[in-house]
Amino acid sequence: MATTAPAPNVTMRARRGPYIVEDWDARIFRVNREVFRSPEVFGRERRLVWDREWLYLGHETELPKPGDFKQRALAGRPLMFVRDSRDRVRAYLNACPHRGTILCRETEGNSKTFQCFYHAWTFANTGELVGIPDAGAYPPERSFAETMGLREVPRVENYRGFVFVSFDPSVRPLVDHLADARDYLDLMIEHSERGLEVIPGTHLYGIRGNWKLAVENAMDGYHFSPTHITFVEYLKTTGYVTSDEGGRAHTLENGHCVIVFSGHGGRVGVQWEPRFGDPAKGRTEENVRSIAARLGEERAKRIAETSRILYIWPNLLLFDIEGLAARQLEPVAADFTDVRAWELAPAGETAEERMLRIRILGSFIGPGGLATPDDVEAYECVQRGVVATANDPRPNVDWSDISRGMERESQGEPARSVDEAGIRGFWRHWDDAVGAGAR
């Protein structure tokens, strides 16, 4: 059969490796389920992705005052996310330089210094060693101040408030990593001329599933109506019915991908629907006029009339749908993932908008909302199910099919949100980074 070139954002390339099979002649894309189960694959990911790439650490507004700090874990490493006394945002390894003890044991707080409980070595939040008990026990020529300060993460960069780190000193610049995902991230940031801020509070939950299932789920518009039927029926009671047919899936550079919806409304501050109540309508209209005056009509339309789910490789998911939310993925094992989630809001919005945002976002994306429990159940069920086919010798039994929409793409049509184009883009990049040929 003759092969027709796919849409421009699709890399047409045959793959037949141990993990990914891509065949555009047959319109087949399959993923070997071993990638969800194997400790060996998990170890390759840790070495080839998490130890080398840019990872999202947090948002600068989580640390509003000098001395503020948070504990975080990325790539299995305990970290300290700090705004120091000089107002600089820092990321330190959470291990005492003396003997390796966890230095900061509080989840969050404010402090000018960090003192190790084990031997009482004390460090300023700017990194300097400032106190050693009985320092005279060491030779005077040893310069601990120069050699035993807090150890910073090798690379830290801030993109418009979003702070990323890398454990690889030679990693490329963050803006090069973000590439064309920057435009979609900017659309979220530009909701307000003051930028975004994180609403205080963190959702933290564990999933008995592989981290890649969370990415698949976020980029999968196909599951929305059947999986979230309770939410769909709820929307009908408000007089609003969402449509997923108007959306488009886009494969971006460097493993990023995005789904853009045109038929999905109800975003606090820029889209109005009946369940928000009449007072919100006037505020929404005024906000949209303000965005247009600041950025132009075309940019304002993209911000206000489309919504999006953006994945930034490898550990950040951004949901600009019901409201604004961020999820940070932290793989713990091949079959377990920790998730941190935050609500983001335009800085300076009214108290009424803020309360509406918290209520709407919590009812949908929050861990007790009408979407997240469904999604967690779905990928935990996948994790349990893929064990059933392990080591099955029959052809194609131990493989997941991700070929929906390839026929449309092969004819040059844009990928729809209900297609699996974004998931395929993710897997191509994963295979290049982690597959059998990666080093």
Report pLDDT for 227: 58
User: Residue 355, Cβ neighbours under 10 Å: how many?
Assistant: 11
Specify whether the CB–CB gap between 203 and 341 falls below 8 A: yes
Q: Which long-range contacts link 126-131 to residues 24+ away (Cβ below 8 Å)?
A: 126/84, 126/85, 126/86, 126/88, 126/90, 127/84, 127/90, 127/92, 127/152, 129/97
Checking DSSP bridges between strand 122-124 and strand 113-115, what pairing results, if any?
Answer: antiparallel
Instruction: Tell which residue, 157, 133, 118, 180, has the closest CA to residue 311.
Output: 180
Task: Using the structure block, give the residue that is written with the tokens 């801020």.
Answer: 197
Q: In the chain, where are the structural domains located? A: 66-152, 177-434
Alpha helix (H) residue ranges in 1-109: 34-37, 39-45
Instruction: Tell which residue, 43, 51, 83, 54, has the closest CA to residue 67.
Output: 83
What b/e readout covers 172-183, taking b as 16+ CB neighbours within 10 angstroms? eebeebbeebbe
- Burial label, 332 (beta-carbon count in 10 A; 0-12, 13-18, 19+): middle
Report pLDDT for 281: 85
Please report, to the nearest 10 degrees, the dihedral formed by the alpha carbons of residues 261, 262, 264, 270 taken in order: 110
Amino acid type, 402: I
Q: Which two tokens stand for residue 63?
A: 């640390």
pLDDT digits (tens, 9 = 90+) for 311-344: 999 999 999 987 899 999 999 999 999 999 999 9
Report pLDDT for 7: 45
Instruction: Tell which residue, 102, 54, 70, 126, has the closest CA to residue 314.
Output: 54
- Provide the β-strand partners of residue 310: 258, 318
Q: Give the C-alpha separation, 14 to 409, whole Å.
A: 15
Q: Which uninterrupted H or E stretch holds 184? A: helix 181-189
Amino acid type, 61: T
Report pLDDT for 228: 57
The CATH number, out of the four listed (3.40.50.970, 1.20.1050.10, 2.60.120.10, 2.102.10.10), of the domain defined by the range 66-152: 2.102.10.10
Contacts of 15 (CB under 8 A, 6+ apart): 21, 22, 428, 431
Please report, to the nearest 10 degrees, the dihedral formed by the alpha carbons of residues 264, 265, 271, 276 taken in order: -160
The CATH number, out of the four listed (3.90.380.10, 3.20.20.70, 3.30.420.40, 1.20.140.10), of the domain defined by the range 177-434: 3.90.380.10
Grouping H, G, I as helix, E, B as strand and the rest as coil, residue 166 is strand
Per-residue pLDDT of the chain (439 residues; tens, 9 = 90+): 333 334 444 556 788 889 999 999 999 999 999 999 999 999 999 999 999 999 999 999 999 999 999 999 999 999 999 999 999 999 999 999 999 999 999 999 999 999 999 999 999 999 999 999 988 888 876 778 778 999 999 999 999 999 999 999 999 999 999 999 999 999 999 988 999 999 999 999 999 999 999 999 998 876 666 655 566 666 666 655 555 556 899 999 999 999 998 866 678 788 887 777 778 888 888 889 999 999 999 999 999 989 999 999 999 999 998 789 999 999 999 999 999 999 999 998 888 888 888 888 777 777 777 788 888 888 899 999 999 999 999 999 999 999 999 999 988 888 888 899 999 999 999 999 998 777 7
User: Residue 89, Cβ neighbours under 10 Å: how many?
Assistant: 19
Report pLDDT for 245: 56
**Among positive and negative, which fits the CA dihedral 224, 229, 234, 239?**
positive
